[in-house]
């Protein structure tokens, strides 16, 4: 997935050999997700589907179809703000497998690529089939697969009968139970300072138990041209990176796959529309950081988010 992961287990005794066995099971689970959904692996299911320029059924794993079905649900509920068919746009803007760029693409290029965007052209069939009504349709699951990976690791730990743990992959988190001593798990939300490192500046700290948290922002993966910032969050309707002043959106939800997708949807929608949307979603809350200028921010939160803030 091109990132790091960590697993913390509390209130459990475990030998060195048991730890090594557990590590192997976690690595195996993550490798499987990678083989299914990584666009950086040319042999992965998603890479093969993207190269498959046909409208007949393409066989994929049950895990892949589960993630696609969830993505389509968020696509519909978010009024198409969350769209996993943005892969050609992500690549065009230099945020995908084809490498970085330092200047924006031409309008004509964007218009041409936009013709092949839209999750409405994606048709799941049963437990392991996927069709596209546009042969050129391509997928990018980077805004949901990482969260799914977190959930899969949590599933491994639950099968192994651990009750208190925290799983983190590239900043997306699931926290279950409690830390040693009965404290809740503490997770920081970064201040969206441009080009900052993870954990360098913390805006707020969350106290979590049995929930997932995911953050999407404009402040790490971007390029600057002619004094303007172009973020990796692409609006699938316009074909351009988002232009509003929402710098970061954090979602707390029951599972990390959903939190991951919702956070991206909010970043596409912007604060006002995003706030209305998250308030309509059951069992999900959000924290918004809006950029006033390069180093100044306002924060907003959904009606039930306060219970997650560290007192």
The answer as to whether 197 is a domain residue is yes
Q: Which long-range contacts (CB under 8 A, 24 or more apart) does 40-46 make?
A: 40/2, 40/97, 46/139, 46/141
The answer as to whether 124 is a domain residue is no
The number of beta carbons lying within 10 Å of the beta carbon of residue 160 is: 16
Radius of gyration from C-alpha coordinates of the chain: 19
Contact 23, 30 (CB under 8 A): no
Mean pLDDT of the chain: 93
The answer as to whether 128 is a domain residue is no
The answer as to whether 220 is a domain residue is yes
Burial 161-175, CB ≥16 within 10 A → b, else e: ebebbbbbbbbbbbb
Contact 46, 141 (CB under 8 A): yes
Contact 242, 233 (CB under 8 A): yes
Q: What angle is formed at CA 255 by the lines to CA 96 and CA 71, rounded to 5 degrees?
A: 45
Lowest mean pLDDT among 95-99, 213-217, 297-301: 95-99
The answer as to whether 195 is a domain residue is yes
What is the widest separation between alpha-carbon atoms in the chain? 61
Query: What CATH number corresponds to the domain at position 261?
Result: 3.10.520.10
The answer as to whether 283 is a domain residue is yes
Each residue of 119-146: pLDDT tens digit? Answer: 999 999 999 999 999 999 999 999 999 9
Each residue of 169-205: pLDDT tens digit? Answer: 999 999 999 998 889 999 999 988 776 667 778 999 9
For the record, the structure tokens of 159 come out as 């099968």
pLDDT at 223: 77
Each residue of 231-250: pLDDT tens digit? Answer: 888 999 999 998 889 999 99
pTM, 2 dp: 0.94
Task: Using alpha carbons, select from 308, 247, 258 the residue that is nearest to residue 282.
Answer: 258
At which residue do the structure tokens 């700290």 appear? 205
The answer as to whether 80 is a domain residue is no
Identify each DSSP E strand in the chain by its residue range: 5-9, 58-59, 122-125, 129-132, 165-169, 172-176, 185-190, 202-208, 211-217, 222-225, 228-231, 246-253, 284-293, 296-301
The answer as to whether 23 is a domain residue is no
pLDDT band at 219, cuts 50/70/90?
low
Give the list of residues 6+ apart from residue 289 with CB closer than 8 angstroms, or none.
189, 191, 192, 203, 217, 246, 247, 248, 249, 297, 298, 299
For the record, the structure tokens of 6 come out as 């960590």
Q: Please give the residue range of the domain that contains residue 286.
A: 173-308
Burial 275-310, CB ≥16 within 10 A → b, else e: bebbeebeebbbbbbbbeeeeebeeebbeebeebee
Count: domains in the chain: 1
Task: Using alpha carbons, select from 133, 216, 212, 124 the residue that is nearest to residue 176.
Answer: 212
């Amino acid at each position: 997935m091109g990132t790091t992961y960590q697993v913390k287990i509390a209130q459990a005794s475990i030998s060195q050999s048991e730890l090594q066995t557990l590590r192997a099971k976690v690595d195996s689970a993550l490798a499987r997700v990678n083989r299914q959904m990584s666009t950086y692996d040319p042999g992965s299911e998603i890479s093969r589907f993207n190269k498959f320029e046909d409208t007949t059924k393409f066989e994929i794993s049950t895990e892949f179809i589960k993630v696609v079905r969830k993505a389509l649900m968020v696509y519909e509920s978010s009024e198409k703000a969350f769209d996993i068919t943005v892969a050609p746009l992500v690549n065009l803007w230099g945020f995908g497998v084809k490498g970085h760029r330092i200047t924006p693409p031409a309008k004509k290029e964007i218009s041409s690529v936009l013709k092949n965007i839209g999750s409405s052209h994606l048709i799941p069939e049963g437990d392991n089939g996927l069709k596209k009504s546009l042969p050129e349709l391509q997928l990018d699951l980077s805004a949901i697969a990482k969260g799914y990976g977190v959930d899969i690791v949590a599933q491994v730990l639950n099968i192994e009968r651990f009750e208190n743990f925290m799983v983190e992959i590239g900043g997306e988190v699931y926290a279950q139970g409690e830390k040693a001593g009965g404290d809740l798990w503490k997770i920081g939300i970064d201040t969206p300072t441009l080009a900052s490192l993870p954990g360098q500046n913390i805006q707020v700290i969350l106290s979590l138990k049995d929930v997932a948290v995911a953050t999407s922002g404009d402040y790490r993966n971007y390029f600057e041209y002619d004094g303007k910032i172009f973020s990796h969050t692409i609006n699938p309707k316009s074909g351009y990176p988002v232009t509003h002043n929402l710098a970061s959106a954090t979602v707390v939800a029951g599972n990390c796959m959903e939190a991951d997708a919702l956070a991206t949807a909010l970043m596409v929608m912007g604060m006002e529309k995003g706030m209305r949307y998250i308030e309509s979603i059951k069992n999900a809350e959000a924290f918004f950081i809006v950029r006033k200028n390069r180093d100044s921010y306002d924060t907003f939160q959904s009606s039930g988010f306060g219970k997650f803030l560290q007192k």
